[in-house]
Amino acid sequence: MTTTQLIAEIHRKKSFLCIGLDVDLQKIPKHLLETDDPIFEFNKAIIDTTHHLAVAYKPNTAFYEAYGIKGWRALEKTIQYLNTNHPEIFTIADAKRGDIGNTSSMYAKAFFEDLAFDSVTVAPYMGKDSVEPFLAFEGKHTILLALTSNEGAYDFQTKLIDNKEVYKHVLETSKGWKNSENLMYVVGATKASFLGEIRKIIPESFLLVPGVGAQGGNLQDVCNYGMTKDVGLLINSSRGIIYASNQENFASAAAEKAAELQTQMAEILAQ
């Protein structure tokens, strides 16, 4: 999917919501555990009730890898279900990959070709030759970790090198990489106060913003500092939506939570 198509979808749905599909078998309704594929059945139900409210879904691959071959199969079925039934939805594999070049190429093949995700999250730590293999895929997007939502972000990402914070080096340096037009960036909602500085370096790029809801980030603050003329934001919520209820009404409860965020987004877009 192109960013132009993504922007059009944001305006059509009046939403820049990304729903995180972080499925934990301990947290899903018990009756689903009796089905052949509880993870997929959970995701399908959530997608069926929320797809009109969201422009993106983000399975975090850790929640699938943790269940071995069954988990990976459920991830495959989930992306196939989205691509077949909702091709207008932007899909994100939150896998946080990145390695030496030939290994990164295989990661990129796995997520862009085999699983056919629109995008994958990538760690910048190993530098240019670890990220460019992802950027080489035409029509796909590489979402680089810039300033993450967790407390540990202050351990390295805000430290100074040559009088400049590491996350600023990541933003500035990555802009010079081959096919950098395929880059988006992760910035945590808990770091909204940094968005003014971030937008000076990457005024137009799309940001994936996790950390609203369960982690305490604030939607309005993120929009105040981070929104561009083309919106430029995908706001993710995972636990706050998908675990709104652990009873039989889980999918409608998730839709209510998603609708709360979408309503706020529609109001912000109308301002």
Nearer to ligand LLZGTKA7, 20 or 124 (CB): 20
Binding piece for ligand LLZGTKA7, criterion CB under 6 A, among 66-74, 167-175, 177-185, 208-216: 208-216
* Among the listed residues 215, 218, 245, 246, the single contact to ligand LLZGTKA7 using CB under 6 A: 215
Least Cβ distance, residue 4 to ligand LLZGTKA7 (angstroms)? 25
Q: Which string of x and - marks every residue 44-83 that binds ligand LLZGTKA7 (by CB under 6 A)?
A: ----------------x-----------------------
Cβ contact 79:114 at 8 Å: no
Least Cβ distance, residue 186 to ligand LLZGTKA7 (angstroms)? 5
In the bound state, the residue with its beta carbon closest to ligand LLZGTKA7 is 148
Instruction: Return the residues of window 81-140 that contact ligand LLZGTKA7 according to CB under 6 A.
Output: 94
Can 96 be counted among the known catalytic residues? yes
Least Cβ distance, residue 78 to ligand LLZGTKA7 (angstroms)? 14
Size of the site for ligand LLZGTKA7 (CB under 6 A): 18
Contact residues toward ligand LLZGTKA7 (CB under 6 A) are 20, 22, 60, 94, 148-149, 186, 188, 210-211, 213-215, 236-240
